[in-house]
A and B are shown apart, each in its own frame.
Chain A
Amino acid sequence: MAAADSEVEILLVEDNADDVELTLHALRGENISNHIQVVRDGEEALDFIFARGSYAARNNSRPPKVILLDLKLPKVDGLDVLREVKKDTRTRPIPVVVLTSSREERDMVESYQLGVNSYIQKPVDFDQFRQTIKQLGLYWLVVNQPPPRNAFGSATKQGPV
């Protein structure tokens, strides 16, 4: 699914296979990106982002342009993934977009308190969902300027590993 490691543009964190298929279809539908990496639980997400565990061999030089994050995840919960990413200066600048069915206000509150860049509630209608994904993709991959290398902290400045 992903091209060379350093070319992952979108990291999709989603455990449900149907949701993965639907989101990928929407992303690919507009030829927004062919460089999408899918991880299926919170632990795998962190392993990928921090290039450790099962992804220890990954070249970490170029982080994804955006992380699409579901909240209900096995092993490590979505909010915990968000917390870890935003806590560590090595990863904090990476834009994180929560993509969830949840309508719970407290999920939104906590996400924003943890520093999420954007919070999207999946529309009930499929065509609207596709529109949303298209806008999302265009915005974060084309319109938005990804954080420059200087924005990322070095290994010495990180929090506890």
Chain B
Amino acid sequence: MTKPVRGIAGKPAALIRALLVEDSMEDAQLILRQLEKEGLCVRSDVVHDRKDFEEKVAANSYDVVIADYRLPDWRGIEAVDVLKEQGKDIPVIIVTGSLGDELAAECIRRGASDYVLKDRLARLPSAVLRTLAEQEARRKQERTEQLLRLQTKALEATATAVVITDREGRITWVNPAFTRLTGYRADEVIGQTPRFLKSGQHAAAFYRSLWGTILAGRVWQGELINQRKDGTCYTEEQTITPMVNDAGEITHFISIKQDATERKRAEEDRLRTLYLEVENKALMRADQMKSEFLADMSHEFRTPLNSILGFSELLLETCQNLSVEQQEDLRLIYQSAQNLLQLVNDSLDLARIEAGHVKLDRSIVPLKDTFARILDVFAPHFQQNNLRAGAEIHPPELAVFADSRRVEQILTNLVGNALKFTGRGSVTLAAHPTEAGVQISVADTGVGISAEELPHIFDKFYQARKQTESATRGTGLGLAITRQLVELHGGRIWAESAPGRGTTVFFLLPGEEAAQRARAKEQGRVANAHRAGG
């Protein structure tokens, strides 16, 4: 026994557990000795009837069954059936004295792995080894096939779309998820490149860069927008992996796609909201800075003006020894300071309005009272210059929906202007409703404005050319502010005039019915805020 101990498929000897079905102990011994002679390491059991065989098989694990064909109560070939019944995958080798071709063929047909003649027992060891090797190979094959089936099932079942293309990009395989994602069936796309998915939303450079990456053997990962068969677009997250053979050449590309449309939409919404927040914050900050700036400016201007006005007034009032000239000098200082103060006030007012910092305190304002108040303030002027004042409101209870203080500011400016330019005659206030709102007018019989100047009277710093006396010179901002205030209310202002024939300034303000609309809107807004949990 100098033969080396061999095992299966040339591997180091493993123990072979054999179950012999043999009624002759002599024969059994012969078989075992033959196996050992060839260096096989065998542990064996021996049975001769079917019942024992069944029990042994059920109770133990065997690698091979070696059965005599001719047994007293049964045929060795039936061992194959028993094993099948018990679900045991164990090869059976029939050993027999004589068999004949037909029986031999039948044995193989019924499932025996091999048969060996008793007078050719020398064949047995190699038969056993071969049988076991085949079984091992078969099992391995089965495992591989099972794994492949599982993998394919997984690919079919996965929600992730998978596309396999050749090196030129032609599709060789797609899974059902691809069809679910794109709408294209496998048979529609095999052989084509994925070009048909292009949505047109990416520049050529984008695809060039993609190809460049994967042709260089690198994995490409990214997001792109594709188009389904039905024309709708969707966003996908794609990973393309080049498959390389042993020589390092690219043979295929595997692309994995996931529908990212929902995720992207949610992300976009989040970012859109975030952007609005950020912009609003920036605007508010800028606004706040402007507000603070204007407030500071106001304070800074008024403080020194306080001294100038105050001390000149003080000196005028209390100095006994001033000459007439000195008094006049001081008066000029006082007057200049007054003008400057007016300019500061007007400029800041205008700046605040333009910056959007002026809020209107709207209410229903009966024009009767407002007109009366204004005319009362200017009564001395009217008297001094012997001018008639008029107020015509039709219907008499007419009211506007506006900020009463600002309405007075507007009228003060317009009546003041009218008086400045009217030497004789009258200044008349009038109001009546129109479709566009309440139309108010201030008409004078003064010097009028030329056609070329008329379009500019509401410009900033516009001064009428006829102004000579600095005492009556305005800031040039009054009408600009007036226009802003009218427009802030949602109204319009314009003027009609002719030289020598006087001027009428018209403006529109919302009527009372606007109050109801505003109330309804406010109620709606509050209701919405409540609904939103505000």
A residues neighboring B (CB under 8 Å)? 16, 18-19, 21-22, 25, 30-31, 101-104, 122, 124, 126-127, 129, 138, 142
Contact = CB atoms under 8 A, between A and B. Distances in A.
A18 B206 contact: no
Q: Which 10 A-B pairs have the closest CB atoms?
A: A101-B282, A126-B275, A126-B272, A18-B278, A22-B275, A18-B274, A31-B206, A25-B271, A124-B279, A19-B278
10 contacts: A16-B278, A18-B274, A18-B277, A19-B278, A30-B202, A30-B206, A31-B222, A101-B279, A126-B275, A138-B203
Interface size class of B (residues with CB under 8 A): 10 to 19
Contacts of A138: 203
Contacts of A129: 275
B205 interface: yes
Given A18-B274, A104-B286, A126-B272, 14 more contacts: A18-B278, A19-B278, A22-B274, A25-B271, A30-B202, A30-B203, A31-B206, A101-B282, A101-B286, A102-B286, A124-B279, A126-B276, A127-B272, A138-B203
B154 interface: no
Nearest to A123: B279
Interface of B: 202-203, 205-206, 209, 222, 271-272, 274-279, 282-283, 286
A21 B272 CA distance: 12
Interface centre among B202, B206, B222, B272 (most CB of A within 10 A): B272
A138 B222 CA distance: 18
A126 B271 contact: yes
A142 B278 CA distance: 29
Contacts of A19: 278
Give the interface SS of chain B, mostly helix, strand, loop or mixed.
Answer: helix
Contacts of A22: 271, 274-275, 278
Nearest to A16: B278
A74 to B, nearest CB: 14
Contacts of B202: 30
Contact of B279 (A30, A104, A122): A122
Contacts of B282: 101-102
Contacts of B222: 31
Contacts of A30: 202-203, 206
A105 B279 CA distance: 18
A16 B274 CA distance: 12
A127 B273 CA distance: 11
Interface centre among B202, B206, B277, B278 (most CB of A within 10 A): B278
B210 to A, nearest CB: 9
A31 B278 contact: no
A87 to B, nearest CB: 28
Contacts of B272: 126-127
A124 to B, nearest CB: 6
A142 B274 contact: no
Contacts of B209: 31
A21 B203 contact: no
Interface centre among A16, A30, A31, A129 (most CB of B within 10 A): A31
B286 A103 contact: yes
A89 to B, nearest CB: 33
Contacts of A18: 274, 277-278
A122 B276 CA distance: 11
Interface centre among B206, B274, B277, B279 (most CB of A within 10 A): B279
Contacts of A25: 271
A28 to B, nearest CB: 9
Contacts of A142: 205
Contacts of B286: 101-104
Contacts of A16: 278
A101 B283 contact: yes
A122 B280 CA distance: 12
Nearest to A101: B282
